[in-house]
Amino acid sequence: MFTWSFSKLEVYPTHSGLTNVITNVQYRLAYTNGSTTPLGAYYYGTVEFPDPDPNNFIEFDDMTESAFITMVETTLGAQLTTIQSDLQAQYAAPKMEMPMPWMPVEEDLVDSLEVEDLGI
């Protein structure tokens, strides 16, 4: 299951006779199996939007999450398929953080790294 989240949205207050034109957004695309386990794969990026078509422009206040996701996916184009494939591959072969092997480890940290706690 893919889930989008967005941050740092930038707009031109006025551009080509339009107001509040979205120029770019930072995003995170997550892939999980839909369960409540913390296991997942994540991709972070920025989308730079082309100048909008004035005939198909959605006013900023009328923009819905669904329309925005479509705008991001359309702008990413074929790159989205690559990102999704990479996320699925990362999910299939999960990695986990470990302490440096030469550093002393507190027992509580070792207990917190148990595989079953990661939902694997």
Confidence at residue 34, expressed as pLDDT on a 0 to 100 scale:
76
Distance CA 25, CA 42 (A): 16
User: pLDDT truncated to tens, each residue of the chain (120 aa)?
Assistant: 899 999 999 999 999 999 999 999 999 999 988 776 667 899 999 999 999 999 999 999 999 999 999 999 999 999 999 999 999 999 888 777 888 889 887 665 555 555 444 444
Q: The whole model's pTM is what?
A: 0.75
CA dihedral over 8, 68, 79, 119, signed as positive or negative: positive
Distance CA 17, CA 14 (A): 6
Confidence at residue 115, expressed as pLDDT on a 0 to 100 scale:
46
Q: What total number of domains does the chain contain?
A: 1
Confidence at residue 48, expressed as pLDDT on a 0 to 100 scale:
98
Query: Strand order of the sheet with strand 41-48?
Result: 2-15, 18-31, 41-48
Domain extent at residue 22: 2-118
Helix (H, G, I), strand (E, B), or coil: what is residue 45? strand
